């Protein structure tokens, strides 16, 4: 993709529903139920304009998110035509665009070593695919893109990882102001392209708008502080937030732990590995159309309005809820009926395709950094240590409190939760790609690995059931 493709999309008519983020063009359409969402997904899959370029469709209880590509670098000449066709299908069903529900993040791994010395490790440990030289993307279209930032070998490397959060340009100032009000600080101002913000511990994140600016980056300054200028479809105003959004309190966590154990102990749920945020399944199909049809069939099941469905060209990912605290007793039976329906449909289960990624952010006891990240990401509190995406799309954030005397060398790391059956193979692949085992706690169910530059990642199998279970 050249800059000309991004600018051409912005200049095209009929794409007001869409924003351009790291993933490329993205839109969210509000829907009243999973059934309405899967009907829309089927309508999208039937569009002739999409035959050669199947989009990524995420159906949630409150709406449908559609991405034309997995990565901005894949943007092509026909993207605007496909976006208009999808918007027209939404309009025919009375589904309103909600650009305020879109955002996208990527993990940035800085290295003073040549990129080709560290990228193979991350490709193996994440199960990702190469994209455009120095990017890795999730072939399942779920996890964050990873970009490798080549540093000058002479430059000091304090934080080897940081997060880039891309938002619609009209959202940026509100997010920025809320983050500063939550004890953040501005570390670098490259407005209106991006702002580098830091939490109280010094952990940094770039709040990025440049993909969504309809001008060359060199001309971005013409926008000044009025980033919404020229926006034909203004963002739906956010709900006032007089208090932090809370996804799970103590009672929810207690019930969720009980359901977590129930799924782990069930002997007839082999399709459903249990990862960090609960059980999930993957069913292989032959096309986007077949995946959408299967999603429609599942939407007819009792309790289906709790399902989270990722409709892809090669399969359908199913989660029973946004996270394990939302699980109820009836979900055990719902999982069985989802598996039965999928088998009858002819879609084989492939648990090896299930994984969950979360971002771990370390800080010292005196640094209360969670409010900063909650406001910047628009996430909700989940217990005392986590933040989660209320849209059920972005990776969760886990806050790791370090001992006061422990040095804070790597403020970020990734946790990758995979089925127990594939954990050892994933570790072996990462070791073969140049990694090393940094820590292997006895009986704890995870490995801490390090890439050739020392950046760490945890491979966790502990949430999943034992092989005998």
Distances (CA, A) of 449 to 143, 302, 412, 415, 456: 19, 42, 14, 10, 6
CB 301 within 8 A of CB 338: yes
Boundary of a domain, candidates 47, 79, 101: 101
Q: Is 178 a domain residue? A: yes
What pLDDT is stored for residue 468 in this prediction?
44
Q: Which residue has the tokens 């089925």?
A: 419
Report the alpha-carbon distance of residue 313 to residue 13 in Å, rounded: 27
Number of domains in the chain: 4
| Domain encompassing residue 117 | 104-223
pTM: 0.92
Residues 410 and 439 in one domain: yes
CB 82 within 8 A of CB 27: no
Residues 378 and 366 in one domain: yes
Residues 318 and 386 in one domain: no
**Could you give the residue ranges of the DSSP H alpha helices within 353-419?**
370-377
Query: How is residue 95 written in tokens?
Result: 């589904």
Q: Is 228 a domain residue? A: no
pLDDT average per 10 residues of sequence, the chain (469 residues): 85 95 95 98 96 96 95 91 98 96 92 90 95 88 91 69 91 92 93 91 90 88 74 53 70 82 87 89 97 98 95 96 82 96 98 93 79 93 88 90 62 88 93 90 79 88 69
Residues 147 and 203 in one domain: yes
Q: Is 245 a domain residue? A: no
CB 293 within 8 A of CB 283: no
Q: Is 31 a domain residue? A: yes
What pLDDT is stored for residue 469 in this prediction?
41
Of 143, 331, 167, 323, nearest to 246 by C-alpha is 323
What pLDDT is stored for residue 73 in this prediction?
85
For residue 252, whether the previous peptide bond is cis, meaning omega lies within 30 degrees of 0, is no
Residues 208 and 316 in one domain: no
Boundary of a domain, candidates 101, 127, 144: 101
Three-class SS of residue 348? coil
DSSP state of 71: S
Of 363, 339, 335, 336, nearest to 349 by C-alpha is 339
Residues 216 and 108 in one domain: yes
Boundary of a domain, candidates 351, 381, 412: 351
Q: Is 230 a domain residue? A: no
What pLDDT is stored for residue 161 in this prediction?
83
Report the alpha-carbon distance of residue 354 to residue 419 in Å, rounded: 7
Report the alpha-carbon distance of residue 154 to residue 222 in Å, rounded: 35
Of 86, 128, 38, nearest to 353 by C-alpha is 128
CATH of residue 393: 3.10.180.10
CB 463 within 8 A of CB 276: yes
What pLDDT is stored for residue 232 in this prediction?
61
Report the alpha-carbon distance of residue 154 to residue 152 in Å, rounded: 5
CATH of residue 285: 3.30.1360.20
Report the alpha-carbon distance of residue 264 to residue 274 in Å, rounded: 7
In 176-213, which positions are buried (b, 16+ CB within 10 angstroms) versus exposed (e)? bebbbebebeeeeeebbbbbbbbbbbebbbbbbbbbbb
Please enumerate in sequence order all residues whose Cβ is within 8 A of that of 174, keeping only pairs 6 or more positions apart, or say none. 238
What pLDDT is stored for residue 466 in this prediction?
67
Q: Is 445 a domain residue? A: yes
Residues 162 and 206 in one domain: yes
What pLDDT is stored for residue 30 in this prediction?
97
Torsion on CA atoms 69, 58, 271, 353, rounded to nearest 10: 20
Burial class (CB in 10 A: 0-12, 13-18, 19+), 135: buried
Q: Is 451 a domain residue? A: yes
Residues 389 and 347 in one domain: no
Residues 362 and 343 in one domain: no
Instruction: Give the count of beta carbons closer than 10 Å to the beta carbon of residue 229.
Output: 11
Residues 307 and 412 in one domain: no
Q: Is 132 a domain residue? A: yes
Residues 37 and 131 in one domain: no
Of 158, 180, 241, 86, nearest to 376 by C-alpha is 180
Report the alpha-carbon distance of residue 72 to residue 63 in Å, rounded: 23
Residues 455 and 367 in one domain: yes
């Amino acid at each position: 993709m050249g800059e000309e493709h991004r600018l051409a999309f912005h200049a095209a008519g009929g794409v007001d529903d869409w924003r351009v983020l790291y993933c490329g063009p993205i839109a969210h359409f509000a829907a009243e139920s999973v059934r309405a969402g899967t009907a829309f997904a089927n309508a999208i899959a039937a569009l002739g304009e999409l035959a050669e370029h199947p989009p990524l469709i995420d159906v949630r209880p409150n709406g449908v998110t559609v991405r034309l590509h997995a990565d901005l670098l894949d943007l092509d000449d026909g993207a605007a035509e496909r976006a208009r066709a999808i918007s027209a299908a939404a309009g025919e069903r009375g589904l309103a665009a909600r650009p305020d529900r879109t955002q996208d993040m990527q993990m940035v791994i800085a290295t003073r070593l040549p990129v080709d010395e560290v990228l193979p490790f991350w490709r193996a440990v994440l199960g990702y695919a190469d994209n455009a030289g120095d990017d890795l993307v999730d072939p399942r279209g779920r996890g964050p893109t990873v970009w490798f930032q080549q540093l000058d070998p002479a430059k000091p490397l304090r934080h080897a990882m940081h997060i880039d959060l891309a938002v619609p340009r009209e959202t940026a100032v509100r997010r920025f102001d809320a983050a500063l009000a939550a004890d953040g600080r501005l570390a670098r101002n490259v407005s209106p392209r991006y702002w580098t913000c830091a939490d109280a511990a010094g952990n940094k994140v770039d709040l990025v708008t440049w993909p969504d600016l309809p001008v060359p980056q060199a001309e971005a300054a013409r926008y000044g502080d009025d980033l919404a200028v020229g926006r034909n479809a203004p963002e739906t105003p956010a709900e006032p937030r007089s208090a932090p959004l809370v996804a799970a309190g103590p009672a929810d966590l207690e019930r969720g732990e009980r359901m977590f154990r129930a799924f782990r102990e069930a002997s007839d749920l082999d399709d459903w590995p249990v990862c960090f945020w609960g059980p999930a399944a993957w069913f292989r199909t032959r096309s986007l159309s077949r995946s959408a049809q299967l999603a429609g069939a599942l939407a007819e099941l009792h309790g289906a309005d709790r399902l989270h469905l990722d409709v892809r060209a090669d399969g359908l990912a199913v989660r029973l809820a946004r996270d394990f605290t939302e699980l109820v007793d009836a979900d055990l039976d719902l999982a069985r009926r989802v598996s039965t329906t999928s088998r009858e449909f002819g879609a084989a289960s492939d648990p090896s395709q299930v994984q969950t990624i979360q971002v771990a952010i370390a800080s010292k006891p005196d640094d209360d950094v969670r409010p900063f990240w909650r406001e910047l990401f628009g996430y909700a509190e989940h217990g005392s240590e986590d933040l989660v995406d209320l849209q059920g799309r972005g990776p969760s954030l886990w806050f790791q409190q370090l001992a006061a005397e422990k040095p804070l060398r790597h403020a970020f790391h990734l946790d990758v939760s995979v089925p127990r059956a594939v954990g050892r193979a994933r570790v072996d692949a990462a070791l073969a790609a140049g990694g090393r085992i940094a820590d292997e706690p006895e009986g704890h169910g995870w490995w801490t690995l390090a890439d050739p530059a020392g950046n760490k990642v945890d491979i966790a199998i502990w949430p999943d059931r034992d092989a005998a279970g």
